[in-house]
Structure 1
């Protein structure tokens, strides 16, 4: 049976990855540039290289309390190997944790050819219908996601030009006008805008999140396996029992 791929080819003396020799990648490329090449099929520009590295760093960890971190630790505490625990953490990613990037990319791509007034009108209609504005709002950061602020500063430093970042002000302004409070762009939303600037397809959004977050899951699993007692469980004081009133 013949299989076809444009990703890589192994020969006796080298490996070709997206048209580049692995030997040259080892000698001359940064790891994050090689990741960019692997998933997109092209070498990033200097500005893209800088920002891609920054966004991966920005999502490397967000505490032990996230869904993926806790899932990783609970899986490890059951006596599973490190890779099984990390895999469990990855499998816990979904629409509400890690998956918002993909949805936000679809949203921003659909707005790309529209002028600011048209985007503001769409946002108003979405709010009226109580539809989700993907990439905005955060459980912890109510007024501003500091990671967004840091990355935007880095974008300015390296002169990275975004064709999507203007949507941030449009959405935040319209939301405050209609709701009287702030709904800040979150890191998923900014990542989505940047990945749209890279011309990545939305399906890669969750993949990029996985690449950035897995190092943290490895660390969580390792710490759980080496520093904690087996079999985590919630304390009964943390569980509120709700009797079945129908019985």
Structure 2
């Protein structure tokens, strides 16, 4: 019989089949620049958790964790505005509705939140990321010396040939999104203060002008377009912009799931019980 001592790996290594893995290789498997956790110590991006607790606000910590640098107060103000603007859009939003239904099915709030967040895809929840991509694409052409109007028309028309709607512009519910103006006003202020360069703001407005050209009714940008300008002005990568939006919307999802969980409803479906979906199959 082989004893436990005979099969136990030597200090600093472990055996997997015939191969040996060093301690350094094991510890590097999930190597990270984000968190340094040891007994009695928590550092995030090199900053002691005690210092973060005592002196940092939540949005600054979001920036620190996701982007990896220490933000200025002006950058935090812009990111906070973008996140506040996106927290909720009512139960008619599929992500909110799904979370509310999930909350009546006997699952925990964490699962209800996950249900809602998991619906944030390319169609519902992805417009902000896509708009950032458009802005960066136009910005890339500007860097080669192409004029703003020419670059905007080129990129927008290319996207128009691929999608039905230009993401970030127009709204099925609001003729003019009430979140647009206050967000753009904050970006205007940030440009004056020198916090952001303003090029992405100019691109966003150029897209708006191009889409509205020749129309009696303009197509103003919506919250996704306005927040995309903020994310782009802050040099946030497009995929990370969707992640930050999801973090923001999870606040509204949490609130709605909690409210529904207090209603006493059980297994609440998408329609009142007095109604049934219309049958359209063969008789």
Could you tell me the TM-score, scaled by structure 1's length? 0.90
1:224 aligns with 2:247: no
| Contact 1:99–1:205 under 8 Å retained in 2 | no
- Structure 2 gap ranges (5+): 1-25
- The RMSD of aligned alpha carbons is 2.2
| Farther-moved stretch of structure 1 (123-132 vs 180-189) | 123-132
1:153 aligns with 2:192: no
- Secondary structure at the aligned position of 1:227 is classed as coil
Alignment of 1:115-126 (within 5 A): 115-122=147-154, 125-126=157-158
Query: What's the CA shift for 1:30?
Result: 1.0
Q: Which has the higher contact order (CA 8 A, sep 6+)?
A: 1
**1:111-144 Cα distance to aligned partner (Å, 9 max, x none):** 10323122243156347636442211111122x2
Aligned equivalents of 1:220 and 1:188: distance in 2? 21
Aligned equivalents of 1:178 and 1:238: distance in 2? 44
Distance 1:68-1:128 versus aligned 2 partners, 3 A rule: closer
Alignment of 1:11-90 (within 5 A): 11-90=38-117
Aligned equivalents of 2:74 and 2:97: distance in 1? 35
- Secondary structure at the aligned position of 2:36 is classed as strand
Could you tell me the TM-score, scaled by structure 2's length? 0.79
| Farther-moved stretch of structure 1 (55-64 vs 149-158) | 149-158
Structure 1 stretches of 4+ with a deviation exceeding 6 A read none
Q: Which has the larger radius of gyration?
A: 2
Aligned equivalents of 2:150 and 2:251: distance in 1? 40
Aligned equivalents of 1:128 and 1:34: distance in 2? 38
Aligned equivalents of 2:201 and 2:276: distance in 1? 43
- Structure 1 gap ranges (5+): none
- Secondary structure at the aligned position of 2:213 is classed as helix
- Tell me the equivalent position of 2:35: 8
| Contact 1:36–1:43 under 8 Å retained in 2 | yes
| Contact 2:127–2:167 under 8 Å retained in 1 | yes
1:201 aligns with 2:237: yes
Aligned residues: 245
- Tell me the equivalent position of 2:219: 183
